[in-house]
Amino acid sequence: MKFPIILFLILFLTSSTVFAQVDSDSNTLNVSFVNNTFPSYDLEFDSTKKILLEQQYSWVRDDTSRYNLISYSIDGGDFIPISRQPRGTFSIDIPSGTSSIVFLSVVQYPVSIEGVKDYSFSPKSPTNDNWFDEKSEILILDVISNDSTLFPNEIIDLDGPIVDYSENSIQILIDAPIYLSVYWGANYSFLGFLVLLPIGVSVVFFINKKRGSNVSKTISKPMEGTLNANSDNYEDEIKEFLKQKSIEKLDLLVSSEIISTKKCSRIKESLWILE
């Protein structure tokens, strides 16, 4: 009778040892997110085997924003940056004995622009698309108009939350989705240059001719519409002469219906002809 009792004890002890071994191989991994940007969860796995954990790079925050994964921490260690992507799945091999992993993400908003043919961001989007991290300051550079005209276009107005703009660059602050509409107008500075060029050449020719002449130095009252090289206010007279000739030339272009009155006024303003 002793033999069956001893056999039973051996089987009991052996069975207990097996169950204890299975329990010790079982592990629980807690997956959580800083600021609860995604619900935390527990993952049961065999600690004797490798486990591959997958997490989306981006997920929806609301109708106008998203969360984007930037780093992770294992068992309370330092956060390890990841190569950021706009979409897809990030995979990580969980080391044996790991009990927790924490993911860190950031809020992103989209930026869209209407009324432009091309542009660039500085700095570029961290996810290589048109989404940017919250509270980042961005410059939109090399903004090019959709329309091509005889004269180069320049930004004359913007509709949207901007910080500042000058020429063909726009500064924005990312604190919400950014929707910009760009309005353009022709830059007539080049036309003003063409108007002044022949007048300037005539003035230079006139000055050189005056300086090189051997006419009498007797001061006489100059004829209306000419320059007096012996005047004490000669430089001011040159400026006034250029101004009057430029106005005459522009008015002639208006009367010939080559340019409109509105365009003429803008050219005069760009040349500082109008006070």
Domain with 218, as residue range(s), is: 189-270
| Same-domain status, 179 and 196 | no
Please give the structure tokens belonging to residue 227: 């320059």
- Backbone φ and ψ for 10, nearest 5 degrees, come out as -65, -45
d(CA 251, CA 253): 5
Q: How many CB atoms lie within 10 A of CB 267?
A: 24
Is position 50 within any domain? yes
What confidence score (pLDDT) does residue 214 get? Answer: 47
53 in Cβ contact with 89 (< 8 Å): no
Structure-token match 């007048």, residue found = 199
Structure-token match 């609301």, residue found = 62
Segment 205-220 mean pLDDT: 52
What confidence score (pLDDT) does residue 198 get? Answer: 59
d(CA 65, CA 87): 14
What confidence score (pLDDT) does residue 188 get? Answer: 55
**Boundary-marking domain end, from 166, 186, 206:** 186
| Same-domain status, 165 and 213 | no
CA distances in angstroms from 140 to 208, 210, 238, listed in the order given: 48, 52, 42
Q: Is 103 exposed, middle or buried (0-12, 13-18, 19+ CB in 10 A)?
A: buried
The number of folded domains in the chain is 3
Helix H or strand E segment including 251: helix 234-255
d(CA 214, CA 70): 82
| Same-domain status, 265 and 224 | yes
| Same-domain status, 101 and 115 | no
Whether the predicted pLDDT of 109 surpasses 80 = yes
Q: Which residue has the higher pLDDT, 158 or 214?
A: 158
d(CA 166, CA 197): 27
Is position 146 within any domain? yes
| Same-domain status, 100 and 114 | no
Is position 7 within any domain? no
Is position 149 within any domain? yes
| Same-domain status, 181 and 214 | no
Is position 3 within any domain? no
Q: How many CB atoms lie within 10 A of CB 60?
A: 9
Stated pTM of the model: 0.60
Model pLDDT for residues 135-191, shown as the tens digit of each residue: 999 999 878 776 555 455 677 778 888 888 877 788 999 999 999 988 877 655 544
Please give the structure tokens belonging to residue 96: 């044996």
Instruction: Output the CA torsion sign for 239, 240, 241, 245.
Output: positive
